[in-house]
Amino acid sequence: MRRSAAGFTLLEMIVVLVIAALIIGVGAGAVAQLTEEHELRKVAHDAEGVIMQAMTRSLATTQPQSVSLDQLGGQARLTLRRAGVEEFVPATGQRVLLRPGGLCEPLTLRWQKGPAWVSATLDPLTGGFAETEESL
């Protein structure tokens, strides 16, 4: 009588390793996507703080304040859309002028890094974000 050895065959082990590698790969991709979106939300939040500080200075001094959009991009690509316009255009070299009475028009800023993006529309009176939107 021959006894069969207990254990797994080489083929079974390879199948298990391939399945584990697929699960790890999918998980790593999801974590990378979440990290990009988190970074974009942080950049947008920091930009809101800069704009609101400039608006506060404008109100306190009754002098217009200018904010360069180049400093708001961080590591992401920043584009903007003016009211009544459909497309986003590069924000490079553009500035936002904040007057004590508020902006003259609402602007929508969009930060993009890879396929992920976050956009925020500036409230013309407060300089804060009136609404935000992000990719899923």
Q: What is the pLDDT of residue 78?
A: 92
Q: What is the pLDDT of residue 111?
A: 92
Enumerate residue ranges in the chain where pLDDT < 50.
none
Determine which helix (DSSP H) or strand (DSSP E) holds 89, and give its type and residue range: strand 89-90
Q: What is the pTM of this model?
A: 0.70
Q: What is the pLDDT of residue 99?
A: 85
Distance CA 19, CA 23 (A): 6
- 12-26 residues labelled b (16+ CB within 10 A) or e (exposed): eeeeeeeeeeeeeee
Q: What is the pLDDT of residue 79?
A: 92
Distance CA 81, CA 42 (A): 20
Question: In a 10 Å sphere around its CB, with 0-12 CB exposed, 13-18 middle and 19+ buried, how is residue 29 labelled?
Answer: exposed
